[in-house]
C-alpha cells in the first residue's frame, strides 16, 4: 500500500458507465458502512495522474472489506482505465469539498427505495418468521 499526497483533484475524463454500475452492485450490501463514494481524477506530486475512488465517512471496521470489494470489481474487468487508487476520507476533510465539486458521486438509490418500501408494508405479520411447533 503506497501512500502519496495528491497535488490536485481533477474531473474524471473517461470512466465507463459499466464500471459505475459494477461498483454500485458490489457495494450495495455495504451501504450504511460509509457515507459517500465519489470518483475523480487526481494528480500527484510526481506529475502522474490517476483515477481516485474516494470513500467518505467509512467505518474503520469496514475499510478493508470495502477496499477488497472495489479491488474485486476492478480486477474482474477487462477495461483498461490506467491507475485507479482508493482513498478513505473523513467527511469533514478539506479534500472532500474539492472532490464533491468536481467528482462524480456513486448513487445507491435502489437501496433507499427498498428500505422505504419495507417500512410501508401494512401487514407486518406476513414478514414474521413462521412459528415452529
The 10 Å Cβ neighbour count of residue 86 is 19
Q: 19 and 81 in contact (C-beta within 8 Å)?
A: yes
- In the block, cell 412459528 appears at 131
DSSP 23: H
The model's pLDDT over 3-57, given as tens digits with 9 standing for 90+, comes to 677 888 999 887 888 888 999 999 999 999 999 999 999 998 777 888 899 999 9
Model pTM above 0.85 = no
Amino acid at each position: 500500500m503506497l501512500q502519496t499526497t495528491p497535488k490536485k483533484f481533477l474531473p474524471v475524463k473517461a470512466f465507463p458507465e459499466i464500471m459505475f454500475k459494477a461498483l454500485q452492485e458490489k457495494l450495495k450490501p455495504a451501504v450504511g458502512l460509509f457515507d459517500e463514494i465519489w470518483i475523480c481524477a487526481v494528480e500527484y506530486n510526481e506529475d502522474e495522474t490517476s483515477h481516485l475512488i474516494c470513500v467518505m465517512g467509512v467505518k474503520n471496521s469496514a475499510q478493508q472489506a470495502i477496499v477488497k470489494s472495489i479491488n474485486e470489481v476492478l480486477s474482474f474487468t477487462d477495461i483498461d482505465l490506467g491507475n485507479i487508487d482508493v482513498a478513505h476520507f473523513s467527511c469533514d476533510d478539506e479534500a472532500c469539498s474539492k472532490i464533491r465539486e468536481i467528482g462524480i458521486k456513486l448513487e445507491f438509490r435502489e437501496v433507499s427505495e427498498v428500505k422505504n418500501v419495507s417500512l410501508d408494508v401494512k401487514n407486518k405479520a406476513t414478514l414474521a418468521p413462521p412459528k415452529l411447533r
